[in-house]
Structure formats: C-alpha cells, structure tokens
Structure 1
Amino acid sequence: MTTAIVWFRRDLRLADNPALVAATQGYDRVIPLYIHAPHEEGEWAPGAASRWWLHHSLASLDTGLKHHRGALQVVAASTSAPADGGGSLGALRAAIKATGATAVYFNLLYDPLIRKRDEKVRKALEADGLDVASFNASLWCNPWETSTKEGEPYRVFTPFWRNLRTRIDEQGPLDTPAPLHLGTVPKSDDLDSLALLPTLDWAKGFDEWTPGEEGAQEMLSLFADDAVGHYDTGRDLPARHGTSRLSPHLHFGEISPRQVADRLRAHFARRKNAPDLEPYLRQLGWREFGHHLLWHFPDTPKKNFNKKFDAFRWAKRDAHALRRWKQGKTGIPIVDAGMRELWATGWMHNRVRMLVASLLTKNLRQHWVLGEKWFWDTLVDADLANNAMGWQWVAGSGADASPYFRIFNPVTQSEKFDAEGAYIRRWVPELRDAPGRLVHAPWEDAAFLKRSGYPSPIVDLKSSREDALTAYQKARGAPAGATRE
C-alpha cells in the first residue's frame, strides 16, 4: 500500500484542495497532517485572535475528516534545529519514518519566511528520495504568473486586475475526493496541547464566527442571499452587514476564491435580475494583488514600498496616544467604534479600518508599522500580505497608495457612511443618546460631552492635519496639495 502525507497549513478544507486531490489520486492511503511550528514564522507567527480561529478551524477540519473515517494528525514541532530533528522538517521526517510514506504533498503559502522554510523542506525531502509536490490552493493565480508586458511585477492595481480578470472565469473548484483512505501517525498530539486558545475575555465575543469549512459556506450563502445584491454601495456602511465577511475564512483556506466565484455565479445563473458580481470580484482581486506584492517585494511588511517615504519624519512614538487608540478612547467616535468592534469581535469594517489607520498615521503621525502590528494580534483575518498592503495604502507609502495628503476627516466620513450614528451608538454606548450631529462630533457641545463621560478628542483634527501636510511637504521637498473627504 502506497502512502502520501498531505501537509495541511492554511488550506483547512477538504473541497477544492489540490494537494489532497492529487495525493488521493496517486496513492492508496493519505495521512492528513498539521504541524504546529509558529517559531518558523518569526515575528509574524499567528497573533492571539488568529490562534483562536486556528484552533477552531483545525477542530472543524478534524470533524470533516471523521466523516471519512479518519482524523487530523497534529504534531507540535520541536524548536530545535532541523538537523537535530526539530522544526517542520524534523516532524515530517518522523512521520515519514513512522508511516512508511513515500510522498509529501502540500499547498503553497507566500509569506517570505514560510517560502524559505518550504524550499528547504522540499530540497531535503527530495534528497531523501521522496516525491514532493506543491499546489496553488489560495489564489486564482500564483504571484509569479501575472506580470506586465515587460515581464515586471505590477505596482498598480487596475492593470493588474485587468490581467487577472481574463484568467478567472474558467477556473472551477475541485470536488472533495472520494473515497478518502486515511492513515494515522502513531504519536499524534492533542489539539488542546497546542494551547492556541487565549485566556483574554475578548475571545468570548467571537461567538458570531463559525470557523471551518462549513462556516465558510454558511457565510457565503448569507452573502449570496442578501448583501451581494447591493454590495457596491452597501460595503461602505459599517452599521449593516454589507460585506461578505469571508476574509478570515479565505485566510485560513476554509474556502477558496474559485469556490466563492463559482458559487455566486451558480446562485444567480437563472435569475433575470441578477446582481453585478464585478464589484465583489474586484475586491477579491485586491486580496490577490496583496499577495502579488508580498511575493515580489517581501520587505513590505516592515519597510516602505515607496522608498521616498524613508525621508518622512514620523512623530516620536507616543505610548499614551497609542494606548488610547488601541482602547478606542481617542474621543473620535467613528474611530473608537471601530477599535472597540475590533477588540470585541476580532474584525473591523473595511471603511472604518481606513479611518482608524488614517488617524494614527496622519493626525497622530505614528508609524504605520505600529498599527500593522496591533491589527496582526487582534484581527481574526490577519493576513501578512493584505495587512501590510492596507496599512501602507493608507499611510501613503505603499503600491498604488492613497496619497499622503489624502487625509480622511473622520467626522465627515461618519456623517456620510453612518448618517444616523447606528454603528457608533452600538460600539460607543456613552454616545447612545447623543442628539443629531453630536454623535459624530460630541465635543461641539461641552456640556453634553461632560455628561456623557466620553473623552475629549485626542488631537485637534484641523491642526493635526496641517501639521501632517507640513511634515509631508518637508519630506517631499515641494508643496503638496490636499484633499479632504
């Protein structure tokens, strides 16, 4: 009987899993193996919110495998060097020795440290005489498969999307392979032994999420039945569920872009008044663009993509201001609502993500890396490619970025996208009874502000905007215009 190990990572599903399909087709028995080795990811090991999701996603995958008379094999890798039997390579070699496997199949990840680790593992196992194969399970196209006419990586989204858009319509998902003949590893660890679940109280508020393949499909069904029909406008309104909320499911590979697009097309195939799916597919394209950038420019999680920003003078790190920002106590209602939503649910509406990032990097002039790291620890959808791209986009230092002089005005933004203040009232109870415009700018009535117990603004929006523009002009060496939203 021939045996292959399928090395699960962030592809925690059975359907549309190319590594699992290929292993099943080529070998008599498949061993589904998850190796826990966060030390191999350096400073970008999963944050607290991601670990919570990972625990439940692994449990869900194990449940799915039990329906096929098997179970997920879990191994906690030793932190010792691979040469001493440690790390992912050591864990794989031990599993190979124990099971007699002659192949290791896995789906690709694109984070810089993981790429280097995987290449070393591949070379070592091939030198051991094993059949090693890797597949694309998380993107429409591998990052190196899309380039400009000159063969260069894209730096602007729109031409990237035009290229990618021509490639995706014919990509259908793979079915769950059946039958699955599953094997075991003699010394598999217990999932609880990985100690992924945090002890912080905020994890109790995550009950609105259902990690796992089944939860991803349920979330997609909800989106198809309602929000996708008005996605182009509804996605900007934080008080309603106008987005797909699939980002954590996509990050952990519980669902793929191929599955999402295929399911939406099938859902509306016979309807006369089917909604336009392009605005949503385009957002999935932005996710793909983030991975394209990370592959070609692996320093982007820590360094400015636009090197001209290396001359920009950020303000001195302000621990007090940073703490108020993290706690949702800046005195800017829409920002505080977003930061409190993040703490309570591990997620934040995308429009609000831009506003909280703009306040931190422009009005407070704190370096974007500080915000990036906080999001990394608190988001259930923390994704290295898209987290870095998003923060650099707002800060003005990234690819196809919002110009630095485009400074979001949080008051006009909340008046536009949360006109009745429903989102603010939900997450900032001090302002639940605020009349009219005061829900957006409570400092305009000093008596009300005092009664509410809500803090005064951490910064004057107008003067801090001017200070940011001055700093930007000095860095650029030339006057810069300004826009205001």
Structure 2
Amino acid sequence: MTLHTIVWLRRDLRLADQAAFHAATQAGPVIPVFVLDDETLRHRRMGGASRWWLHHSLARLDADLRALGSRLILRRGRCEEILPALVAETGASSVHALHHYEPWWRNAERAVARSVPLHLHHGNTLVPAGSVLTGSGTPFKIYTPFWRALSERMPPAPPLPVPELAAPAQWPASEPLEDWGLLPVRPDWAAGFRAEWRPGEAGALDRLETFAGRASRYAEHRNLPSMEGTSRLSPHLHFGEVSPATIWHRVADAGGSVDTFLGEIGWREYAQNVILQYPDYGSRNARDAYDAFPWREGADADADFTAWTQGRTGYPIVDAGMRQLWATGWMHNRVRMIAASFLIKHLLIDWRRGEQWFWDTLVDADYGSNAVNWQWSAGTGVDSNMFVRIMAPLTQSPKFDAGDYIRQWVPELAHLSDFEIHDPVKPVRGYPQRIVDHAAARARALAAHQALKG
C-alpha cells in the first residue's frame, strides 16, 4: 500500500520554497490541508482584513494545486482535533508543516504532535527563530546586534523549486470556501482591497518583480508616502505566499541602498525572535515600569480614539494614513509611525488599543511585527524609541513631501496649496478641527512620563 502524508498549511500558502511540501513528497502522495481554527486563536483570531486576504489566497492556492493535479482540502475546527481525525480518515502516515512562532501556533504544534507524527520544517524566516544568539549563547533583545549577527549568516539557502506532487487514490471531503464567510457582505467594504491587491503566490512574485526594479533606491524613497517607494510585500510575506529567502535572493544584488531594505527583512526576523522570547508581547509591556503609565480612559478618550480610527483628528497626515488603512487594509510605513505616535503621545491612549485596531484592519497583521512596532513607538519595548521623542505630525508631513498623499486620501483638502495642505491655517468645509493642540498634547505627554518616573 502506498503511504501518503498530510501537509498542514497555515501562513505558508505557497508552493515554491516550501520545505514541508518537499519533505512530504519523499514519502509519496500528498494531501494539502488548511484548517480554519478560530478556537485555538481565540482573542487573536484573524481580523476582517486578514480574513478577506485569506479567502482569496486559499482560492488561488487551490487553483495552483489543481494545475499540478492536486487540490487543497479545507476543514474548520481545532487543529489538534481536525488533523488527527483526518489522519485516521485517510490513513496518512504523518503530517508535515512549517514552524510558526506565534504562541498559539506553538501550543497547537505541541498538541497535534501528541496525537500524530508531526514533522516541522523551517521556511517562514531567513533562519530559524531563536537560532541567532549572542556570544554567551542567549537570544538577542536589541535589533542592531541581532541584525549584525544575522547578516553574517547570509545569504540564506537558495529557494526550493515548486515540487512535483502525487495525488492520493482518493481525496477526503473538503468544506466549500464560500461557506466560511470570510468575505464582507453587508456592507461590502472591500472594494478598495480588490483594487489594490492580488493575493496569492503569483501576485506575490509579480509584486516582487516590480519592486526589484527600484530596490536600489529604497532608502531614498521609502519614507515618501506620495511615492511608490516601498515594496508592499508585507501581506504576501505574512501569508507566506513568498518566502523571505526568495525575496533576499531576488533583490540582494540590486546595489544602491538595497541594504536598507534587507535590514527591514531583518526587522521582521527580529520580531519573530522577540515573540519567541516574550509570547505575550502583543498585550503586555516589555518594560514593567509602564504598567503604571497614566493612559487616558473614559468617554473623552473613547471619542478621541474613534476620531483617530476614522481619520478625523484634524491632522492631515494622520487622517490620510488612517483612511488609507480603512480603504485598502494597508498604510505606508512612515505614516504608520506617525499615526501610532499620535495615538500614544498626543492622545495618551494605551498602545494596545492601537495594536488591536491594526490587527483587525491590516491585511499584513503579523503578530510579531505589529506588536514590536507598537511597543517600539510607545517606548515600552525591549528595543524601542524613547517615549519623550514625540513625532510632530505637522513637521513630518512636509519633511516627507506628503502633499499628494494627503490629496488622495483627504479629498476635502485637495484644493489646498503645497504649503497649506500639511497644516491648514483656516477652517476647511467638511474637515474637522484638531481634536488636540500639538503643543498642549506634547506638554501633557511629557508630564505623564515625568509622573511615571516619580
């Protein structure tokens, strides 16, 4: 009897450079399986934007598999229950999967391994998370020495090709993707998503090719939101539609300032190492002193938070970013920092509320990167910006030439001149007044930090 294996897919929805597929093919026919497990994720179940992306990524992967004579099996429930049941149903000899470092997936891997032979492989990071160590053999907590040590191990191994997949004699039943309700219906808020993104491995590789042509100018253009200077690969990376090794090998020799971009891939690696050391990094301050920080709460703070989420703060660069996020599921990286700093320091609202909003609205809502970036902005992380360094949105906007970006996302201001649009001096019909004065907000934030220090 020919043995076959199961490949358990999660955030690794690709065929190229997929070590689990390659290992599984050595044993015979392969059954690719994706389990929608909201129960294991509990309060970290995917947000609406991620679920939209997941639907289209799964559909695309199934089409790619069928082109190879295979298919994707969909099941819903707890992985630790679904996978052993599927092994028993199909007579599979083992389950292969890629390592994931979110705490819930590590728990799920241990639970699955207690019931079935589970073989885990690396491939979602350049090197295994936790393997880049200090001279004393401990994990790095600070990014710069981590990146220096990681760079010494580069380049990564060459990417694996798309494998040849043999099909089992009989396929197990699969749930219809449409029955999972991953797409918005009433209302359908995803029109901007459809215009902006093409989920799936082919879309990821096309995006990579487009970026490769300008990777040498990354440092010069990445902070300019009015330009197409970033890679926009983050959602494809998050869902594993392209591996970091594939990206590295495609752009590393671009010359110019491509090393700055490679450092951003390194930051993603760093984030995975952080959540391996601090599994609750998305909900707990890394610096205990900030547990006593006097965050604003109550009706006024809630009203300010709502204004921030809706892009109605009266600060054009912040509002442009928040509206771009709502419309497309993505926000320019420089603007993410400005918007996060504004929530934390201008409004004195707990960074965790912002992290949760991004978790629900970003198509690249990666637990490690999202948590590390928010704690960096808040000054609460193991490696973070100082709280007293407060970004001034009215200065950041002209500094990074955000005029056309604001015109695109805040059309009420589109008629203003390049000089006025960053900081309208007169009220503009339909556009809100500032919910807080910059100087007063800065003074309030510094006083709150001083009170924390005692």
Q: TM-score of the superposition, structure 1-length normalised?
A: 0.90
1:230 aligned residue: 217
Secondary structure at 2:35's aligned position in 1? strand
Distance 1:372-1:170 versus aligned 2 partners, 3 A rule: closer
Kept after mapping to 2: 8 A contact 1:34/1:72 = yes
User: What is the match of residue 358 of structure 1?
Assistant: 341
The structure-2 alpha-carbon separation of the partners of 1:322 and 1:59, relative to structure 1 and needing over 3 Å to count, comes to same
Matched, 1:292 2:273: yes
- 1:25-424 to 2 correspondence within 5 Å? 25=26, 27-77=27-77, 87-125=78-116, 131-181=117-167, 185-199=171-185, 200-207=187-194, 208-226=196-214, 228-265=215-252, 268=254, 274-317=255-298, 318-418=301-401, 421-424=403-406
- Unmatched segments (≥5 aa) in structure 2: none
SS at 2:190 equivalent: helix
2:431 to 454, 463, 475: 454
Shift of 1:35: 1.0
Q: How far off is 1:144 after superposition?
A: 1.8
Specify the SS of the correspondent of 1:144.
coil
| 2:182 alignment partner, SS class | coil
Matches within 5 A, 1:469-480: 469-477=446-454
One-letter code aligned to 2:266: G
State whether residues 29 and 165 of structure 2, in contact with CA within 8 Å, keep that contact through their aligned partners in structure 1.
no
1:24 and 2:21 are equivalent in the alignment: no
Letter in 1 for 2:65: L
Q: Displacement of 1:474 after TM fit?
A: 1.2
Residue 184 of structure 1 deviates from its aligned partner by: 5.4
For residues 170 and 408 of structure 1, the distance between their equivalents in structure 2, rounded to whole angstroms, comes to 36
Change (3 A) 1:425 1:284: same
* Aligned residues between the structures: 449
C-alpha separation between the residues in 2 aligned to 1:31 and 1:179? 9
Q: Give the deviation of 1:311 after TM superposition.
A: 2.2
SS in 2 for 1:33: strand
Spell out, residue by residue over 1:404-431, the C-alpha distance to the aligned partner (whole angstroms, 9 max, x if none): 0000000100010025x11001100000
Deviation, structure 1 residue 183: 6.0
The RMSD of aligned alpha carbons is 1.4
Q: Secondary structure at the match of 1:282?
A: helix
Contact 1:95 1:185 in 2 (8 A): no
Give CA deviations for 1:27-74 in whole Å, capped at 9, x if unaligned. 121101111111211111100000000000001100110111121011
Contact 1:10 1:253 in 2 (8 A): yes
Q: Partners in 2 of 1:291 and 1:184 — Cα distance? A: 38
Instruction: From the superposition, tell whether residues 403 and 183 of structure 1 become closer, same or farther in structure 2 (CA, over 3 Å).
Output: farther
Q: Distance in 2 between matches of 1:418 and 1:16?
A: 39
**Partner SS, residue 202 of structure 1:** coil
Q: Does 1:13 align with 2:14?
A: yes
Q: 1:271: which partner in 2?
A: none
**1:259-302 deviation line (CA, Å, top 9, x unaligned):** 00112247x5xxxxx43421111000000111100010112110
1:407 is aligned with what amino acid? I
Question: CA contact under 8 A between 2:290 and 2:452: conserved in structure 1?
Answer: yes
Corresponding residue for 1:463?
Answer: 440
2-side partners of 1:288 and 1:280: how far apart? 13
Assess, with a 3 A threshold, how the Cα gap between structure 1 residues 321 and 332 changes in structure 2: closer, same or farther: same
1:82 paired residue number: none
Corresponding letter in the other structure for 2:14: R
- Secondary structure in 1 matching 2:189: helix
Tell me if structure 1 keeps the 8 A contact 2:102–2:368. yes
Q: Does structure 1 conserve the Cα–Cα contact (< 8 Å) formed by 2:319 and 2:410?
A: yes
Equivalent residue number for residue 437 of structure 1:
419
Structure 1 unaligned spans of 5+: 78-86, 126-130, 269-273, 478-485
TM-score, length basis structure 2:
0.96
Q: Secondary structure at 1:46's aligned position in 2?
A: coil
TM-superposed CA distance for 1:182, in Å, is: 5.0
Per the TM alignment, residue 212 of structure 1 is displaced from its structure 2 partner at its CA by: 0.5
Structure 1 runs of 4+ aligned residues shifted over 6 Å read none
CA distance in 1, matches of 2:165, 2:378: 50
- Distance across 2 between alignment mates of 1:388 and 1:434: 36
